[in-house]
Amino acid sequence: MIDHGTISRIFDAIEIVDVIQDFVTLKKRGANYMGLCPFHNEKTPSFSVSPSKGIYKCFGCDRGGNAVNFIMEHEHLSYPEALRFLAKKYNIEVVEKERTAEEIQQQNERESLQVVTTYAQKYFTETLFNSVEGMAVGLSYFKERGFRQDTIKKFQLGYCPEKKDAFTTSARNAGYKVDYLVKSGLSIQGESKTFDRFSGRIIFPIHSLSGTVIGFGGRTLKSEQKTAKYINSPESEIYNKLIENSKKNEYLVRIIRTA
């Protein structure tokens, strides 16, 4: 495991334009740099790099993140491998340390929650497009509000069935532990049974800058005053609500509020 001091030195040394220019031809445009996106085919540059913010963003395919995210995506590397790649570029010695039992447990927890969240996104999207209820309630609503099908798929929108434990039952039958369903905020543990947090709601996945689904927002289509119109995932090991300050999730929140 790379120690925190080494990671800090790597991040301090990184200049995002310098990193991305090794792979993409960039031209300065105002305060930012533009180029052809390396993640999808395009003829007109929509790939923007901000040296002041230290981030990149493609307005064509919606990929975005920092320099480490870019190396992970472009070179198909894990987070530690990307750090070592950048350390070599900037001639930084990588100091390794053994992970403590607590750090190993925390990593295992995060990975388990991420697996559950990934399953949930696929379940909600599948339900939206391929179930009678999802198409009649969720998909028809999105289309009434002017959402194109490509937009719905791009943002991985979905629908959770009205039945109170439909998702939880499906996840348990697929082998996912109730403990992680509850910790992720997807399920709620009641006195006698576990039920879905987002039942009967259209679903908006919340993504990290690297594009990973880390939480969900749900909107009810009912007009009952006692029912909250919008609910979000509670904070967890993989979802911190401060992340919503990123441009990507600010855009997502605007979509939720106008839906």
Using one digit for the tens of pLDDT, what is the confidence trace for 81-127? 999 999 999 999 998 877 778 878 888 888 899 899 999 999 999 99
Average pLDDT over residues 59-66: 88
Q: Hey, which residues does 96 pair with through a beta bridge?
A: 2
Does the predicted TM-score (pTM) go above 0.85?
A: no
Q: Tell me where in the chain the CATH 3.90.980.10 domain(s) lie.
A: 104-258
Reduced to 3 states (helix: H, G, I; strand: E, B; else coil), residue 58 is: strand
By DSSP bridging, strand 187-189 and strand 158-160 are unpaired
| Structural fold of domain 4-89 | DNA Primase; Chain A (3.90.580)
C-beta separation of 255 from 204 below 8 A: yes
How many Cβ atoms are within 10 Å of 209's Cβ, its own excluded?
A: 18
Q: Tell me where in the chain the CATH 3.90.580.10 domain(s) lie.
A: 4-89
| Structural fold of domain 104-258 | DNA primase DNAg catalytic core, N-terminal domain (3.90.980)
Question: Which residue shows structure tokens 């997807």?
Answer: 186
Q: In the numeric block, which tokens belong to residue 202?
A: 């259209």
Beta-carbon contacts of residue 133 (< 8 Å; ≥ 6 apart): 127, 159, 161, 162
- Looking at the predicted structure, is the pLDDT value of residue 240 above 80? no
pLDDT tens digits for range 23-48: 999 999 999 999 999 999 999 999 99
User: How far is the C-alpha of 214 from the C-alpha of 102, rounded, in Å?
Assistant: 22
pLDDT band at 241 (very low <50, low <70, confident <90, very high): low
